[in-house]
Amino acid sequence: MMRYVAMALTALVLLGGCQKKDDPSDAGPAERAGRKLDQATQDAGQKLDSATRQANEQLSDAARETSQKLDRAADKAGETLNNATKEAGRKLERAGEKMQTSAEEREAKK
């Protein structure tokens, strides 16, 4: 019986030494360093999140601006192509009229 009492007291003494200390002033150098590392890691994570959000916003803005510029360029290219097509049509019509006039003149000479 005495043996069990001695073991129980020894266990209580050992477990008493494992008590967690929440008071930072009682923390040892390794624990303080660990807390500083945890805080630095958390701060770095927040800064990284913020930088990532900002970069995503800038990329979205740049993509939107590029899209608008491409739309304007496509519209301008379409207008230019339409104008060129109309001009080519007018020139073909004039050439056809000249050919018809020449053919009529040849027929009249016969």
Question: Which pLDDT belongs to residue 48?
Answer: 95
DSSP code, position 17: T
Domain count, the chain: 1
How far apart CA 45 and CA 81 sit, in angstroms, is: 53
Residue 110 lies in a domain: yes
Question: Which pLDDT belongs to residue 21?
Answer: 54
Average confidence score pLDDT of the chain: 86
Q: Is the pLDDT of residue 79 over 80?
A: yes
Residue 80 lies in a domain: yes
Residue 105 lies in a domain: yes
How far apart CA 60 and CA 54 sit, in angstroms, is: 10
pLDDT tens for each residue of 23-70:
656 778 889 899 999 999 999 999 999 999 999 999 999 999 999 999
> 47 and 53 in contact (C-beta within 8 Å)?
no
For residue 99, what pLDDT band results from cuts at 50, 70 and 90? Answer: very high
Which structural domain range is residue 102 located in? 50-110
- Global confidence as pTM: 0.48
Residue 83 lies in a domain: yes
Question: Which pLDDT belongs to residue 82?
Answer: 95
Residue 88 lies in a domain: yes
- Interior angle at CA 26, CA 20 and CA 30, nearest 5: 80
Residue 29 lies in a domain: no
Q: Could you give phi then psi for residue 74, rounded to 5 degrees?
A: -65, -40
- The CA-atom distances, in angstroms, between 88 and each of 43, 79, 81 are 67, 14, 10
- Work out the burial of residue 48: count CB atoms within 10 Å of its CB; fewer than 13 is exposed, 13-18 middle, 19 or more buried: exposed
Residue 43 lies in a domain: no
Question: Which pLDDT belongs to residue 95?
Answer: 93
Residue 19 lies in a domain: no
